[in-house]
Chain A
Amino acid sequence: MGHYVVRRLLQAIPLMIIVSIVLFALVNLAPGGPLAGRGQSKRMRPEQIAILKRQFGLDQPLYKRYIFWLVGNDWTKIDTDGDGIKESYGQGKGILRGDFGMSYRTRKPVMDSIKNSFKNTAYLMSVTLVVVAIIAIPVGVISAVKQYSIFDIIVTSLSFIGQAIPEFWLGLILILVFYVWLKNPLTGDSLLPPGGMYTQGAAFSIIDWTKHLILPVTMGVVGWVTWYSRFLRSSMLDVIHQDYVRTARAKGLSLNKVYYKHALRNALLPLVTIFALDLPYIFSGSLYVEILFSWPGMGRLYYQAAIDRDYPMLMAILTIGTLAVVFANLLADIAYAKLDPRIHYD
């Protein structure tokens, strides 16, 4: 197993290099660029733009920019004042030493913004995932155990609806219903806030934070609940017709015990793998939620960076995203082998 993991990690290195080169070229060669918007404003003179260009390192050829991005430029002299003489060492350490550079927009280290935003996204997503598990597991089990019952038929129809609703539109409708239409009968205020993590300027209160969570979490939950409850249903159906379940029932165990203790455990195995594979998508999927509900997370950070052409920010989030996908794949394979002793890698 150890050998397998090491080999997979080694295989991931060339993959990451190729993907990062493609992404870097894509980001950097795109027309427009981070200075396009600045050039349009009357206040910027061409000399100032040239200075900015040098500060951002955009005067360098593409391959050099990639190398500087990868390993930094503190080992080589660069020209900072535009006189053609390379006089001082660069400041960047490169991503291999954990330095993702400075954001063009905020002029602060990219990593600082990402850390802040990541906390907010992780907070939103962990609540979402808990709610998904609370709903999807019982729904999946019951609709498998009572296959073709009224409950199962209703759940099946609902899951078709859940899969077909565009996520951002669901958010819009939620805001329309719970912010615009429904009012608190006592105060006449809107029932739920339309965005943000908490009321600006108000003292911390759990009720306030919870209120701000309800709509974004609902929006995020619908798609994943339908996906996982469907998945659990079919994996439960595979399991409950197996001999050991019949044996457990023949022993006289109660149905609940058989289903929830014996069958569910085995039915959850493939789900763990799928979940590991889904994790990066769960995070990037929060993008629409964050934009719609002005949630200060990673998705919104990326969206803003895409609009601003904030190259270091874009590259940082893209790299982290790619790493997440690669590691999630590895994690899924390891989890698969750990949970199912029949699977053996060498």
Chain B
Amino acid sequence: MGCIVLGCIILAVSLAGLSPYDPYKSDMSARYQPPSLAHPMGTDALGRDLMTRVLYGGRVSLAVGFSVMVITLLIGVPVGAMAGYFGGRVDNVLMRITDAALALPSLLVLILLGAILREVDAPALKQNPVLTIAFVIGILAWMFTARLVRASYLTIREMDFVVATRALGGSNFRIIALHIFPNAIGPVIVEATLEIAYAILEESGLSYLGFGIQPPTPSWGNLLSNAQEYLVKYPWLAIFPGLMIFLSVISINYIGDGLRDAFDPHKVLTKMGEV
């Protein structure tokens, strides 16, 4: 069911271009219109169709979510794999770095980085707000993946097939990438899936505070950033973007949960009635 809902959201978001309205062009004659047939989610302070903006914002928010997942995997998997496989001094150094990163109060640092990046006048950053924000969130989130991967590698490296590969002359890289990785991938996939949901929530919170994706580029978070002032008169501005965040996150969590059951051999056997 999670897949269906998420599929619908992704489909809707990718078809956002079909909307007859422009997400950026303001129409002062149509400000603050309540939801109607012409504007299913109403219009905002500048007369822009909220549904169009929510769909375009979904592109941004989902893109941030997926990018964060990729970034945490790109940092977390190699760090965890090397720490777990080599052990000893490599493990020590990498895990101290991980500990230092874990000691940071992540929400506070996230806000700090967001506040800093808002001021940076680098065109490269301004043109890629999605990657910038994803990088900020990812740099504070890879540690969990690293620890998870390290734990799997620690157990698997002692198994007979790894010893056999080493005896046959397999290089360390070959063992890490081709032999252990496929066996350690299950929990990583689950973690990565849940990471998307976490990143969408983080991005929306950050953008809500004004430190994330900057308007006029819409994201589900920054569409809500003025919502509190409008609550009394224009509540639809607060309801719909949040509803989209909620639906995406809950469906991703359901998918993650399903994957966890699928990768858990004990659970599968229980369902089949074998245990």
Chain A interface (Cβ within 8 Å of chain B)?
15-16, 18-19, 23, 26-27, 30-32, 36, 160-161, 163-169, 172-173, 175-176, 179-180, 280-281, 284-285, 287-288, 291-292, 302-303, 306-307, 309, 314, 317-318, 321-322, 324-326, 329
Contacts and interface: CB of A to CB of B under 8 A. Distances in A.
A302 B108 contact: yes
A176 B238 contact: yes
B240 to A, nearest CB: 11
B235 A180 contact: yes
A288 B205 contact: yes
Contact of A322 (B105, B111, B201): B105
B231 interface: yes
Given A284-B107, A306-B115, A325-B102, A166 B227 contact: no
A313 B99 CA distance: 25
B109 to A, nearest CB: 7
Nearest to A33: B119
A164 B249 contact: yes
A15 B100 contact: yes
A19 B238 contact: no
A166 B112 contact: no
Given A164-B253, A176-B235, A302 B111 contact: yes
B208 A168 contact: yes
Contacts of A326: 103
A25 B248 CA distance: 37
Interface in B83-127: 96, 99-100, 102-109, 111-113, 115-116, 119-121
A166 B243 CA distance: 9
A317 B108 contact: yes
B164 interface: no
Nearest to B2: A160
A317 B111 CA distance: 12
Nearest to A167: B205
List the 5 shortest-distance A-B pairs measured between CB atoms, nearest first: A321-B105, A169-B242, A32-B119, A164-B250, A30-B116
B232 A318 contact: no
Most central of B104, B113, B228, B257 by chain A CB within 10 Å:
B228
Given A26-B113, A26-B116, A180 B250 contact: no
Chain B residues touching A, range = 35 or more
13 contacts: A15-B96, A26-B112, A26-B116, A160-B253, A166-B201, A172-B227, A176-B231, A180-B231, A284-B106, A284-B108, A287-B111, A302-B108, A317-B108
A307 B108 contact: no
Contacts of B201: 166
B103 A325 contact: yes
B15 interface: no
DSSP class of A's interface residues: helix, strand, loop or mixed? Answer: helix
Contacts of B232: 180
Nearest to B117: A30
B246 interface: yes
Nearest to B203: A166
B181 interface: no
A318 B205 contact: no
Interface of B is mostly: helix
Contact of A172 (B100, B106, B116, B242): B242
B228 A18 contact: no
A176 B228 CA distance: 9
Contacts of A167: 205
A307 B235 CA distance: 27
A160 B2 CA distance: 11
Nearest to B248: A164
A193 B57 CA distance: 31
B245 interface: yes
Contact of B111 (A161, A173, A306, A329): A306
Given A280-B105, A284-B107, 17 more contacts: A26-B112, A36-B119, A163-B253, A166-B208, A166-B221, A169-B224, A169-B246, A172-B242, A173-B238, A180-B232, A284-B105, A291-B209, A302-B108, A306-B111, A306-B112, A314-B112, A325-B105
A36 B112 CA distance: 16
Interface in B224-271: 224, 227-228, 231-232, 235, 238-239, 242, 245-246, 249-250, 253-254, 257
A70 to B, nearest CB: 18
B119 A318 contact: no
Contacts of A306: 111-112, 115, 211
A295 B107 CA distance: 18
Which of A18, A160, A167, A317 has the most chain B CB atoms closer than 10 A to its own CB? A160
Given A23-B109, A161-B250, A168 B224 contact: yes
B205 A166 contact: yes
Contacts of A175: 228, 231
B132 interface: no
Given A173-B239, A284-B107, A164 B120 contact: no
Interface centre among A161, A303, A324 (most CB of B within 10 A): A303
Contact of A27 (B102, B112, B231, B253): B112
